[in-house]
Amino acid sequence: MTPRKPKVAAVQMTSGADVEKNLTRAEVLVREAVADGAGLVVLPECFAYLGPEDGKFALAEPLPDGGPILTRMSSLARETHAELVLGGFYEQTPNPRKVRNACVHLGHDGRVKAVYRKLHLFDVDLPDGTKLEESAGVEAGHEVVVTHTHAGKLGLSVCYDLRFPELYRKLVDLGATLLTVPSAFTLTTGKDHWHVLLRARAIEAQCYVIAAAQTGHHFGTRRSYGHALISDPWGCVVSECSEGEGYALAAIDSALIERVRAMLPSLKHRRL
């Protein structure tokens, strides 16, 4: 009998300032994705809180020990017997006015298997009037992280990291066959760049890309583009969310990764 291909899901949410509401919605979407066959579920950046900037400091928790949010998500992993990637988790730092934007991989037993801290911080003034200065309240990470999942070796990144292809080269060098990009892409940048960049990273790295996303209106002028998706290593979008909350679901075909890398061996042809 041919073994079943593992399924993964990229969740799409509209998180706001109400943590309880956000976590309850995350739990519902994870359970639905697992019921649909997903063994690995990726939650988007800011899944627990996407409200005014000052609110995140009180929510930050130490890692790997965690607090109420991590405890709840660990219980969800154990209940569903699924691996979870918490796409944007606010981690405490010694500075009470700084957090880290961490991507946390939980095993199906609820234990922390890996933590990646976002390397590239989003400081921009956009034409629509949106001003974001992530570095004002976030401390950048320094390490590149690949973690083992039941679906393959997963390279971790967060949102704005997507614009820096050298990160994904390093993840592939560390053995990644899957990449995850949990995000809260703004509406302004997302409509022009989201699909192009995700497909480019998939093609360059010859990996599956699992991109969870925030969508819709959060607070004030903050809006996210959405379109959570999964791309295969040829750059084809195999599953994508439309409007509203939900999840993209796809099977991971390890044989396809091998075929693509054999047919077009660009990773072996690198000279720099």
Catalytic residues: 45, 118, 159
For residues 260 and 233, the answer to whether their CB atoms sit within 8 Å is: yes
**Interatomic CA distance for residues 210 and 171, integer angstroms:** 14
**Interatomic CA distance for residues 163 and 36, integer angstroms:** 31
Can you spell out the DSSP letters for 114-152? EEEE--S--EEE-TTS-EEEGGGTB-------EEEETTE
Angle, nearest 10°, between helix axes 187-205 and 165-173? 30
Three-class secondary structure of residue 189 per DSSP: helix
Angle, nearest 10°, between helix axes 68-80 and 19-35? 20
Three-class secondary structure of residue 24 per DSSP: helix
CA dihedral 194, 22, 217, 226 (to 10 degrees): 20
Using a 10 angstrom Cβ sphere, with 0-12 exposed, 13-18 middle and 19 or more buried, the burial of residue 35 is exposed
Can you spell out the DSSP letters for 227-246? --EEE-TTS-EEEE--SSSE
